[in-house]
């Protein structure tokens, strides 16, 4: 099969229809489950709207309108698209189009999470090397000390690494605000536990330029044009080689 010199890379083209992420599209191509104009697709090939693309036996539908949602995830909701899991985020939102979360929030954490049908933006936002800010308000089980705040901000040894320096400030006797630029698995909980504290409540209040604001628990809204323009500007120089962030607190 001859690969056209122009067009859109096949994995990106598939992800833009909203059926899966670009990485998932790569796996489907590798497994021989994608064909272009009746022939088995090749990794890296480029396609256009004129091509007939079949994925897992089904013709690829036209690209839907791009959807970008901000959702206030309540406690108990699991950030998975697997609808066999009770309390999954897809059923919780019940949006009319297929969407998937950008990153994750632990089942027992609350707050802001993005969902979209745009697989391309998922990869860009989740790149570890891009240092996009995520802000949290955290309650712990006992009074906070100055040493705790200093240690959290300086870096804590977890998961065979040391967390990046970050901004931390005390809010009350047993709560603090923290801004992360990485997303190690259950990072904040592991950091606090290492220092002898236990998280009793964790709420993500901001991702990049978008704040939770007055969005009530369980509600969602579409990101507005201004918010999306700012996000796109932040993503212009996004790394294309760094690994994706776990982004789970």
Distance separating alpha carbons of residues 119 and 117, to the nearest angstrom: 6
Q: How many other C-beta atoms can be found within 10 angstroms of the C-beta atom of residue 181?
A: 17
Do the domains 8-59 and 68-249 sit in the same CATH topology, yes or no?
Answer: no
CA atoms within 13 Å, Cβ hemisphere of 81: 15
Domain topology for 8-59: 3.10.290
Q: Where are the domains of the chain?
A: 8-59, 68-249
Average pLDDT over residues 153-162: 96
List, for residues 169-215, the tens digit of each pLDDT value. 999 999 999 999 988 999 999 999 999 999 999 999 999 999 999 99
What was the pLDDT predicted at 179?
97
**Known catalytic residue: 219?**
no
Average pLDDT over residues 220-230: 95
List, for residues 76-91, the tens digit of each pLDDT value. 999 999 999 999 999 9
Identify whether the C-beta of residue 152 lies closer than 8 Å to the C-beta of residue 168.
yes
Residue with tokens 């100055």: 146
Q: Structure tokens of 65?
A: 């309108």
- Coil vs helix vs strand at 190: helix
Catalytic residue among 26, 106, 118, 247: 106
Q: What's the predicted TM-score (pTM) here?
A: 0.76
Domain topology for 68-249: Pseudouridine synthase (3.30.2350)
List, for residues 43-80, the tens digit of each pLDDT value. 999 998 889 999 999 999 877 788 999 999 999 999 99
């Amino acid at each position: 099969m001859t690969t056209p010199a122009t067009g859109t890379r096949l994995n990106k083209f598939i992800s833009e229809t909203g059926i899966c992420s670009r990485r998932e599209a790569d796996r489907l191509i590798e497994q021989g489950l994608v064909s272009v104009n009746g022939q088995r697709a090749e990794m890296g090939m480029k396609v256009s709207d004129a091509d007939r693309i079949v994925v897992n036996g089904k013709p690829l539908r036209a690209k839907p309108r791009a959807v970008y949602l901000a959702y206030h995830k309540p406690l108990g909701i699991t950030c998975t698209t697997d609808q066999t899991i009770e309390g999954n985020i897809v059923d919780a939102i019940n949006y009319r189009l297929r969407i998937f979360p950008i990153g994750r929030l632990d089942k027992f954490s609350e707050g802001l999470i993005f969902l979209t049908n745009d697989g391309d933006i998922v990869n860009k936002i989740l790149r570890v090397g891009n240092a996009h800010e995520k802000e949290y308000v955290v309650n712990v089980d006992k009074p906070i000390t100055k040493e705790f705040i200093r240690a959290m901000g300086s870096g804590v040894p977890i998961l065979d690494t040391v967390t990046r320096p970050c901004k931390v400030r005390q809010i009350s006797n047993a709560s603090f605000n923290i801004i992360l630029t990485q997303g190690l698995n259950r990072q904040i909980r592991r950091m606090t536990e290492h220092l002898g504290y236990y998280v009793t409540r964790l709420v993500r209040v901001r991702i990049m330029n978008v704040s939770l604001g007055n969005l009530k628990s369980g509600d969602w809204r579409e990101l507005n044009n201004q918010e999306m323009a700012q996000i796109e500007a932040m993503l212009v120089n996004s790394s294309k080689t760094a690994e994706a962030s776990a982004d789970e607190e």
